[in-house]
Structure 1
Amino acid sequence: MPLTPLLYQLLDKLDKTALRELKKLVRSPYVTHRKDIPLLFNTLASYCYQGKPFPTKEHLFKSVFDDQPYDDQLLRSLMSDLHLIIEKYLTWNAVTADEVSSHLALAGFYRQRNLTKHYSRAIKKADRKQSQHPYRNADFFQNQLKLQLETSKFQSTQQRTGHLNLQEIGDTMDVLYLAQKLRHVCSQLSHRAVYQTDYQFGLLKGWIDELEDSPYLEVPAIALYYYCYRFLTEAYSQIYFRKFREHLLIHYSQFPQEELKDLYRAAINFCIRKLNEGSLEFTREGWELYQEGLLKGFFIENHQLSRFTFDNIVGFGLRLEEFLPVAQFIESYKSYLPQDYQESTVYFNLARLEYGQKNYDQALAHLQVANPKDLVNQLIAKTIQLKIYYEAEEFDLLESHLDSFRLFIRRREVSDYHRKNFQNIIAYTRKLITSNPYDNEEKQKNKAMILQEEILSERKWLLRKLEEI
């Protein structure tokens, strides 16, 4: 199958409004005098509207040049010119979407040509648009700095002495730097937790402690990421996590949707890591963050809910034994799952739900249907089986399952974190079934080892089973 040209891949991603605007644009003599450009565009756009694949080059050439002999070089040149026009259209839309920057660019043009009255009108529009902007994130302060710098340039041409806004510029530079740096460092920390990448944070350590109780924390774009940094780096982080949550609830309207998603994900991923480490204090936090995100629509993109998000929500709910809300969630949101993963994801999570309610036969039946495609879910499914065999005292089945589970991990490309976690689960389960129930010293030793284990997602279950021996 021939590769689809970049031009058609681009057109296929544009919405109908953009296609209508482009249809007018390619007919404008300001853009091109070529009569074949609109013909090419109309043909390709009609294919996009109908959801058809890219036509053959010969068919495309004929739709534009009629009976002229096919000329591949001519068609390539024409497609390249159309692609360039579309990119200019997209660039123009991106530039004009930021009204503050647009007015500032116009003001700069007027300033350079000494058109004072024109400049005054443009800068006032920029100032008004800036003050009316709904958000107060780092991007807002970026435009605030641009506005102040443009005003300063104009002031310096009008007066040699008197007040200039140099202090305001310096203050905004500080706020902007802190907001951008903290946001970026939080991204580094979140990424490092997953991929074990070693990042350097530059000047951060030199001034981070000075921010505590400083006026800068009155700026939500700084405070949110400061508390995010703190809970991602402190050993005893709940106080900072609480402050982060308070600021997020109060100031969420000052941030765009995409940035809010990132903030919620950073906090949720932190809760997931804490949960996997056996720390239950963040379980309720993670569950509530997910409920807020669902209510605000953060997790539904293109009418779909990620299967990983679906799994995590169920996981938090089950840890809290919120069985009815979990069942309601599965029923309400299963239709949002990608079609290819819908059945396996639903049955996998129904199995988790039934296990949580101690309906072991139903849980095993759901697992047989589920057959998870994701490696981590396969590991979780095997862990559920492990616990069911133990609970049912099917120790022969359990011994066989532990052997196959260990072999499964050895033969798969599993992350270091998951390898360590599930190997620990297998090892401590073996200790459960081989422990002498009358040897209290051995029991206390095993308990101490379980408590000290850094990575152990089933710590609570193992400790409970140890106490029951």
Structure 2
Amino acid sequence: MKGSTVLQLLEGMSVYRRNRLRKFLQSPYHNQREDVLALFEQAGRYLEGGRAPLDKEEVFRAVYPARPYDEQQLRYLMSFLLKAIEQFLINEQLNENEVWAQRLLLKAYRENAGPKSFQKALRRARQLQEKAERVEFFYHDSFAIEREEYLFRAGRKRDAPSQLPGLNAALEEAFLLSRLKQSCLLSAHQAVFREEEEGAGLLPLLMGYLEGSSHLANPL
């Protein structure tokens, strides 16, 4: 187990987050295998006990007291625990980013709920988006939200094409700002490390397009 991805992930977590993971694994909705929880507890004892050598056979006996050592079974169990940890980390990321979570909820409402419920979820998504910090992916989130409304309309109303100009504008804004930021990062990297400059690609065309454009007024 030493050096495994499972231990690396657990070692990188705070005690608070590992405790949240324990509750996650104790939930029958997220995990129905008692041996997965038992393996997590063994790994936790290793992390909290001064990092004494972790013996695979001892771990196996602690999880399966009545069974002979089976390395293949232990590998399966490690894989199950890893998948559970990864799902937990995804949930944690969504808990920390309300806009991402609301985007996914908006998609679910589009696919499963009626117009009134979808519009309510759409308003909530836009409210959260307006309060979000104007960093690069703010504009990608804006496009994603507008796209959900377009897809909702396309499946139910004939006026969906009327939203295309706004959708195209949101996509254009996200692309332009991301491309400019990436060009700045690349230029700074080349200046610091004195690397040979790469071709400018689309940048000169974009700069020409942006001259006098309202896009330059957007903070990033």
- TM, length-normalised to structure 2: 0.87
Distance (whole Å) between structure 2 residues aligned to residue 156 and residue 74 of structure 1: 49
Match of 1:167 in 2: 165
Check conservation: 2:154, 2:160, Cα contact below 8 A.
Answer: no
Q: 1:8-35 CA distances to partner (integer Å, 9 max, x unpaired)? A: 1111111112211121222222233322
Distance (whole Å) between structure 2 residues aligned to residue 5 and residue 163 of structure 1: 51
Residues 193-204 of structure 1: pairs in structure 2 closer than 5 A: 193=191, 194=193, 196-204=195-203
Check conservation: 1:152, 1:164, Cα contact below 8 A.
Answer: no
1:146 to 139, 144, 157: 144
Greater radius of gyration (CA):
1
Q: 1:222-257 CA distances to partner (integer Å, 9 max, x unpaired)? A: xxxxxxxxxxxxxxxxxxxxxxxxxxxxxxxxxxxx
Residues 290-309 of structure 1: pairs in structure 2 closer than 5 A: none
Residues 442-457 of structure 1: pairs in structure 2 closer than 5 A: none
Match of 2:134 in 1: 136
User: Does the residue aligned with 2:162 lie in a helix, a strand or coil?
Assistant: coil
Total equivalences in the alignment:
219
User: Does the residue aligned with 2:28 lie in a helix, a strand or coil?
Assistant: coil
**Aligned in 2, Cα 1:197/1:59: closer, same or farther, shift over 3 Å?**
farther
Distance (whole Å) between structure 2 residues aligned to residue 101 and residue 131 of structure 1: 13
> What one-letter code is carried by the residue in structure 2 that aligns with 1:86?
I
Distance (whole Å) between structure 1 residues aligned to residue 214 and residue 160 of structure 2: 28
Match of 1:85 in 2: 84
Distance (whole Å) between structure 2 residues aligned to residue 66 and residue 57 of structure 1: 13
Distance (whole Å) between structure 2 residues aligned to residue 29 and residue 162 of structure 1: 42
Whether 1:10 aligns to 2:9 is yes
**Aligned in 2, Cα 1:13/1:177: closer, same or farther, shift over 3 Å?**
same
Match of 2:93 in 1: 94
Check conservation: 1:8, 1:54, Cα contact below 8 A.
Answer: no
Distance (whole Å) between structure 2 residues aligned to residue 71 and residue 77 of structure 1: 10
Match of 2:58 in 1: 59
Distance (whole Å) between structure 1 residues aligned to residue 53 and residue 189 of structure 2: 38
Distance (whole Å) between structure 2 residues aligned to residue 51 and residue 209 of structure 1: 61
Check conservation: 1:107, 1:118, Cα contact below 8 A.
Answer: no
2:183 to 182, 185, 209: 185
Distance (whole Å) between structure 1 residues aligned to residue 154 and residue 75 of structure 2: 51
User: Does the residue aligned with 1:14 lie in a helix, a strand or coil?
Assistant: coil
Match of 1:46 in 2: 45
Percent same amino acid at aligned positions?
27
CA shift for structure 1 position 197: 4.0
Distance (whole Å) between structure 2 residues aligned to residue 108 and residue 209 of structure 1: 37
CA shift for structure 1 position 139: 0.8
Structure 2 stretches lacking a partner, 5+ long: none
**Aligned in 2, Cα 1:121/1:207: closer, same or farther, shift over 3 Å?**
closer
Check conservation: 1:155, 1:164, Cα contact below 8 A.
Answer: no
**Aligned in 2, Cα 1:127/1:33: closer, same or farther, shift over 3 Å?**
same
- TM, length-normalised to structure 1: 0.43
Check conservation: 2:150, 2:160, Cα contact below 8 A.
Answer: no
Check conservation: 1:104, 1:126, Cα contact below 8 A.
Answer: yes
Check conservation: 1:104, 1:122, Cα contact below 8 A.
Answer: no
